[in-house]
Amino acid sequence: MEKATTILNLTEEEFVHPGNRACSGCGLSIVYRIGLKALGKDTVLVVPPSCLTVLQGLYPVASTKLPCVNVTFASTGAAATGVRAAMRALKKNNVNVVAWAGDGGTGDIGIQALSGACERGEDIIYICYDNEAYMNTGVQRSGTTPQGVLTTTTPIHGKLQEKKDVPSIIAAHKIGYVATASAAYPLDLYDKVKKATTISGPRYIHVHTPCPPGWNFDPRYTIKVGKLAVKTGLFDLYEIENGVFKLTGASHYLLGKTRLPVSEYFSTQGRFKSLDAEIVKKVQQQVDAKWATY
Amino acid sequence: MHIIESGNVAAAIGVKLSRAQVIAAYPITPQTPLTEKLSEFVESGELEAEYIPVESEHSAMAVCIAASSAGARAFTATSANGLLYMVEQLNWAVGARLPVVMCVANRGIGAPWTVWNDQQDTISQRDVGWIQIYANDHQQIIDSVIKAFKLAQTVSVPVMVCYDGYLLSHTYMPFEQPEQKKVDAFLPAFAPKHFLDPENPGNFNTVTLPDIRPDVDGNMAPGYIEIRHNLQEDLRAALDTYVTIDNEFEKEFGRGGNPFIEEYRCDDAEFVAVCIGSLSYQLRDVVDIMRDDKVKIGVMGVQMYRPFPDQAIVGALAGKKCVIVFEKALSYGNQGALYADIKSALYSSEKKPRVHNYILGLGGREIKTQHLLDALAQSCTSPDTFGDSPRWIGLKL
Per-residue pLDDT tens over the stretch B88-138: 999 999 999 999 999 999 999 999 999 999 999 999 999 999 999 999 999
Residue A122 Cα, gap to closest chain B Cα (Å): 10
Tell me: the pLDDT tens digits for B4-41? Answer: 999 999 999 999 999 999 999 999 999 999 999 999 99
The verdict on a CB contact (< 8 Å) between A90 and B70 is: yes
Q: What is the mean pLDDT of residues A142-150?
A: 97
- Assess whether B269 and B176 both reside in one domain: no
Nearest-CA neighbor of A215 among A53, A23, A13?
Answer: A23
Is the model's pLDDT at B335 over the cut of 90?
yes
Is B229 a domain residue? no
Contacts of B208 in chain A (CB under 8 A): 58-59
Nearest-CA neighbor of B122 among B74, B154, B158?
Answer: B158
The answer, for A42 touching chain B at a CB cutoff of 8 Å, is yes
Residue at which a domain ends, from B131, B155, B186: B186
Tell me: the pLDDT tens digits for B141-169? Answer: 999 999 999 999 999 999 999 999 999 99
Is the model's pLDDT at A3 over the cut of 90?
no
Q: At B251, is the secondary structure helix, strand, or coil?
A: helix
Residue B316's CATH number: 3.40.50.920
Residue A82 Cα, gap to closest chain B Cα (Å): 4
How far is C-alpha A173 from the geometric centre of its chain's CA atoms? 18
Task: Show Cβ contacts of residue B202 under 8 Å, excluding neighbours closer than 6 positions.
Answer: A62, A67, A68, B194, B196
Nearest-CA neighbor of B82 among B56, B64, B62?
Answer: B56
pLDDT at A39: 98
Contacts of B94 in chain A (CB under 8 A): none
The verdict on a CB contact (< 8 Å) between A79 and B62 is: yes
Q: How far apart are CA A288 and CA B362, in angstroms?
A: 62
Of A53, A61, A85, the CB nearest to B52: A85
Q: For strand B2-6 and strand B172-176, is the pairing parallel, antiparallel, or unpaired?
A: antiparallel
State phi, psi for B251 to the nearest 5 degrees.
-60, -40
Tell me: the pLDDT tens digits for B169-182? Answer: 999 999 999 999 99
List beta partners, residue B186: none
- Assess whether B172 and B268 both reside in one domain: no
Is B238 a domain residue? no
Residues of chain B numbered 209-268 and touching chain A (CB < 8 Å): 209, 213-216, 221
- DSSP single-letter state for residue A133: S
Of B24, B88, B208, the CB nearest to A82: B24
Residues of chain A numbered 84-123 and touching chain B (CB < 8 Å): 85-90, 95, 112-113, 115-116, 119-120
Q: What is the mean pLDDT of residues B213-242?
A: 97
Q: Which domain, by its residues, includes B313?
A: 261-392
Q: What is the mean pLDDT of residues B374-393?
A: 96
Contacts of B70 in chain A (CB under 8 A): 44, 69, 82-83, 86-87, 90
Query: Which of A17, A41, A75 is best to mutate for the B interface (most B CBs within 10 A)?
Result: A75
- Assess whether B29 and B170 both reside in one domain: yes
The answer, for A74 touching chain B at a CB cutoff of 8 Å, is yes
List beta partners, residue B359: B327, B392
pLDDT at B250: 98
DSSP annotation string for A207-271 = EE---HHHHT--GGGHHHHHHHHHHTTSS--EEEETTEEEE-HHHHHHTTSPPPPHHHHHTT-GG
Of B53, B70, B207, the CB nearest to A58: B207
- Assess whether B276 and B182 both reside in one domain: no
- Assess whether B44 and B153 both reside in one domain: yes
Q: What is the mean pLDDT of residues A185-199?
A: 98
Q: Does domain A27-292 have CATH number 3.40.47.10?
A: no
Nearest-CA neighbor of A42 among A65, A18, A75?
Answer: A65
Q: What is the ipTM of this complex?
A: 0.96
Nearest-CA neighbor of B341 among B318, B319, B361, B313?
Answer: B313
Q: How far apart are CA B166 and CA B361, in angstroms?
A: 13
Q: How far apart are CA B221 and CA B202, in angstroms?
A: 14
- Assess whether B366 and B278 both reside in one domain: yes
Confidence of residue B80 (pLDDT cuts 50, 70, 90): very high
Of A58, A75, A89, the CB nearest to B22: A89
Is the model's pLDDT at A121 over the cut of 90?
yes
Q: What is the mean pLDDT of residues A159-181?
A: 98
Q: How far apart are CA B83 and CA B93, in angstroms?
A: 13
Contacts of A137 in chain B (CB under 8 A): none
- Assess whether B156 and B269 both reside in one domain: no
Is B244 a domain residue? no
- Assess whether B159 and B282 both reside in one domain: no
Residue B10's CATH number: 3.40.50.970
The verdict on a CB contact (< 8 Å) between B208 and A85 is: no
The answer, for B204 touching chain A at a CB cutoff of 8 Å, is yes
Residue at which a domain ends, from B157, B186, B215: B186
Query: Which of B19, B61, B63 is best to mutate for the A interface (most A CBs within 10 A)?
Result: B63
pLDDT at A236: 98
- Assess whether B31 and B159 both reside in one domain: yes
The domain tally of chain B equals 2
The answer, for A14 touching chain B at a CB cutoff of 8 Å, is no
Interhelix angle A111-120/A76-89, nearest 10 degrees: 40
Of A42, A67, A116, the CB nearest to B55: A116
pLDDT at B322: 98
Is B58 a domain residue? yes
Q: What is the mean pLDDT of residues B270-284?
A: 98
Q: For strand B22-24 and strand B74-78, is the pairing parallel, antiparallel, or unpaired?
A: parallel
The verdict on a CB contact (< 8 Å) between B56 and A113 is: yes
List beta partners, residue B77: B103
Contacts of A85 in chain B (CB under 8 A): 22, 24, 50, 52, 63, 67, 72
- Assess whether B51 and B181 both reside in one domain: yes
- Assess whether B162 and B69 both reside in one domain: yes
- Assess whether B275 and B364 both reside in one domain: yes
DSSP annotation string for B179-248 = PHHHHHHHS-----SS---TTS--EET-B--SS-EE-TTS-EE--HHHHHHHHHHHHHHHHHHHHHHHHH
pLDDT at A19: 87
Is the model's pLDDT at A2 over the cut of 80?
no
